[in-house]
Amino acid sequence: MLSYTVRRLLIMIPTLLVISFVTFSIIKLPPGDFLSNQIAELQSQGDRAAMEKVEFLRKQYGLDKSFLEQYAVWVGLWPGERGFSGLLQGDWGWSFEYDLPVGQVVGDRMLLSLILNFSVVLFTWAIAFPIGVYAATNQYSWGDHGLTLLGYVGLATPNFLFALVLMYFANVQFGLSIGGIMDPEYLGRSWSWAKFGSVLTHLWIPVIVIGTSGTAAMIRRLRANLLDELQKQYVVTARARGVPPLRLLLKYPMRMALNPFIADIGNLLPSVISGSAIVAVVLSLQTSGPMLLEALRSQDQYLAGSFLMFLSLLTVIGMFISDLLLAALDPRIRLTGGAAK
Amino acid sequence: MIRQHRYGRSALALEGAQGLAGLAVALGLLLTTRPAGPVIWVLAAAAGLFLVYFGRAVVRSLTRIELDERSIRAWGPLETVIPWDEMRSLRLNHYSTKSDRSGGWMQLDVRGARRSIRVDSSLNDFAALAAAAGREALRRGVPLDERTRLNLDALGIALHG
């Protein structure tokens, strides 16, 4: 595993560098920047003090420097006005729109996103695993057909539409307002048990809305993978030898059927932070998804860039973890892929 | 009859270069950019890992594997002898960093009562070594797991029993 870990790490380093460069390039692609727009606005108002601050920020964050220098300063590979002060040094930059350091702006939202999306993952797995296993071990039964139908409905319904329908019915039929991830009086306040309780009472709606399609997709994949494994020779042999059905199921076919889910960890990590942005907008959830959208729209370059870089880092780390797990759990050669050296 | 195996020079040179390149990047960032606390730990861990990897390439360049009817031996800085009678397990794994798991390399792990010998497929005539170890395992009733059998099969080694 040492060779494997080192070779994967060696791939990760240039990957992260390329991602950071592409992210920064995309952020800088549109003409102008947030401060240029601010300066134009302030010049029309003749506000001298605010304009001095804008000039100070422009100099401090090197917005008057060349593209490559700005990039190197942003990553922390090159010293800027304040020495080395970039992503590597833990400085995410300044959010021009919120007039605060990016770390402070995203802190609370990141935590809320983490709570929400982690709950979605737990919900998805808790529902999908038993149903997927049941559907595979009882293929073509009434239960399998019924659950398959439900799965297709779940897959076919867009999350934002489900959220709108649920909001409408909750309001019209029961007089409930189900938007937001906590009661409005707790917004912006520090964490307390009361605030945590408020989050928990609001959490179930977005969890169901976001989790439904994921659950349906997972049921279908688990069913298909498990059916493949259950038809293999070693399962037939073990069954013929009288291995108890539950032990047989859990010992090999279930493990093999889980491989695609382990491979999915790479996508899971970033989605825990930024997933379901559109549903968050529809349900007015104070998570990081809508903030990322807004930052991209307003060219708040350090907020958007740091967000995207953080998500990319999580993807690369997730891929690394899933690859290590897959290599440890299933080090078989794939004859269709090519030969070993 | 004693059979000897050594690691190929080009494979060792590549491993050494990979270790040094990784070490240079990790130490370079650590020493020149004054990173934040958690980043320091990550870079230090990576530097340590690359150093161990480079050290292993050096040890491998000084090691030769010998096997005969009685035992498998690793001669070199980390000398190990495992008599076939003391073999507890034999594993042959395949690793690849490509998403379709193509290419990659194999690793043979022979475990004795206390020590183990682990060799990669960059060893000269690796398939012959794996076949000999597989036959000894079968002769002594050492159980081979499903993936080891599959990987031996992929190397064109047919074991019966």
Q: Do A85 and A106 fall within a single domain?
A: no
Q: How far is B26 from chain A (nearest CA, A)?
A: 9
Query: Which pTM does this prediction carry?
Result: 0.74
Q: Over the stretch A30-84, which tens digit does the pLDDT of each residue have? A: 777 777 777 777 767 776 777 777 777 777 767 778 888 888 888 888 887 778 8
Q: Do A285 and A316 fall within a single domain?
A: yes
Q: Which residues of B touch A88 (CB under 8 A)?
A: 29, 33, 35-36, 39
Partner residues linked to B67 by β-bridges: B3, B72
pLDDT of A96 reads 80
pLDDT of A341 reads 42
* Domain termination residue (choose one: A35, A70, A91): A91
Q: Given pLDDT bands bounded at 50, 70 and 90, which one contains residue A193?
A: confident
Q: Is residue B133 part of a domain?
A: yes
* Domain termination residue (choose one: B29, B44, B61): B61
Q: Do A196 and A308 fall within a single domain?
A: yes
pLDDT of B135 reads 86
Instruction: Report d(CA A319, CA A12) in Å as an integer.
Output: 10
Its ipTM equals 0.79
3-state SS, residue A176: coil
Residue span of the structural domain in which B70 resides: 65-154
Instruction: Report d(CA A225, CA A305) in Å as an integer.
Output: 38
Amino acid letter, A300: D
Q: Which residues of A touch B106 (CB under 8 A)?
A: 333, 340-341
On whether any CB of chain B is under 8 Å from the CB of A83, the answer is yes
Q: Do A149 and A200 fall within a single domain?
A: yes
More confident residue, A270 or A13: A13
Instruction: Report d(CA B125, CA A43) in Å as an integer.
Output: 76
Average pLDDT, chain A: 81
Q: Is residue A74 part of a domain?
A: yes
* Cβ distance of B18 and A83 shorter than 8 Å: no
Q: Which residues of A touch B147 (CB under 8 A)?
A: 330-332
Q: Do B88 and B40 fall within a single domain?
A: no
Q: Do A136 and A166 fall within a single domain?
A: yes
pLDDT of A18 reads 92
Q: Do B144 and B79 fall within a single domain?
A: yes
Q: Is residue A3 part of a domain?
A: no
* Cβ distance of A333 and B104 shorter than 8 Å: yes
Q: Is residue B98 part of a domain?
A: yes
Question: Which DSSP letter does residue B77 get?
Answer: S
Q: Which of residues 279-338 of A touch B (CB under 8 A)?
A: 323, 327, 330-335, 337-338
Q: Using an 8 Å Cβ cutoff, are A158 and A245 in contact?
A: no
Q: Do B83 and B46 fall within a single domain?
A: no
Instruction: Report d(CA A273, CA A311) in Å as an integer.
Output: 7
pLDDT of A337 reads 42
* Domain termination residue (choose one: A56, A71, A91): A91
On whether any CB of chain B is under 8 Å from the CB of A77, the answer is yes
Point out the residue among A11, A327, A339 whose CB comes nearest to the CB of B95.
A327
Q: Over the stretch A97-127, which tens digit does the pLDDT of each residue have? A: 888 888 888 877 888 888 887 888 888 888 8
Q: Do B83 and B150 fall within a single domain?
A: yes
Res. B161: pLDDT tops 70 = no
A19 contact partners, CB below 8 Å, separation of at least 6 = A309, A312, A316
* Cβ distance of B39 and A9 shorter than 8 Å: no
Q: Which two tokens stand for residue A113?
A: 């996103």
* Cβ distance of B22 and A334 shorter than 8 Å: no
Q: Do B12 and B84 fall within a single domain?
A: no
Q: Do B54 and B75 fall within a single domain?
A: no
Q: How far is A286 from chain B (nearest CA, A)?
A: 28
Q: Do B94 and B35 fall within a single domain?
A: no
Q: Over the stretch A308-339, which tens digit does the pLDDT of each residue have? A: 888 888 888 888 888 888 777 777 666 544 44
On whether any CB of chain B is under 8 Å from the CB of A14, the answer is no
pLDDT of A339 reads 42
How many independent structural domains does chain B possess? 2
Q: Is residue B161 part of a domain?
A: no
* Domain termination residue (choose one: B27, B42, B61): B61
In this prediction, residues A82-95 reach a mean pLDDT of 83
Q: Do B97 and B48 fall within a single domain?
A: no
Q: Is residue A313 part of a domain?
A: yes
Residue span of the structural domain in which A167 resides: 102-329
Q: Over the stretch A242-301, which tens digit does the pLDDT of each residue have? A: 888 888 888 778 877 777 777 777 677 666 666 577 888 888 888 888 888 888 888 788
Question: Which DSSP letter does residue A79 get?
Answer: -
How many independent structural domains does chain A possess? 2
Closest A-chain CA to B57: A3
Q: Do A79 and A124 fall within a single domain?
A: no
On whether any CB of chain A is under 8 Å from the CB of B156, the answer is no
Q: Is residue A49 part of a domain?
A: yes
Q: Do A247 and A125 fall within a single domain?
A: yes
Q: Over the stretch B52-87, which tens digit does the pLDDT of each residue have? A: 999 999 998 998 888 888 888 888 888 888 888 888
Res. A168: pLDDT tops 80 = yes
Q: Do A20 and A62 fall within a single domain?
A: yes
* Domain termination residue (choose one: A69, A91, A113): A91
Res. A156: pLDDT tops 80 = yes
Q: Do B10 and B55 fall within a single domain?
A: yes
On whether any CB of chain A is under 8 Å from the CB of B132, the answer is no
Point out the residue among A11, A84, A333 whose CB comes nearest to the CB of B151.
A333
Average pLDDT, chain B: 86
Q: Which residues of A touch B120 (CB under 8 A)?
A: 3
Q: Given pLDDT bands bounded at 50, 70 and 90, which one contains residue B17?
A: very high
Q: Do B22 and B99 fall within a single domain?
A: no
Q: Given pLDDT bands bounded at 50, 70 and 90, which one contains residue B100?
A: low
Closest B-chain CA to A92: B36
Closest B-chain CA to A12: B22
Q: Which residues of A touch B46 (CB under 8 A)?
A: 9
Res. B51: pLDDT tops 90 = yes
Q: Is residue A335 part of a domain?
A: no
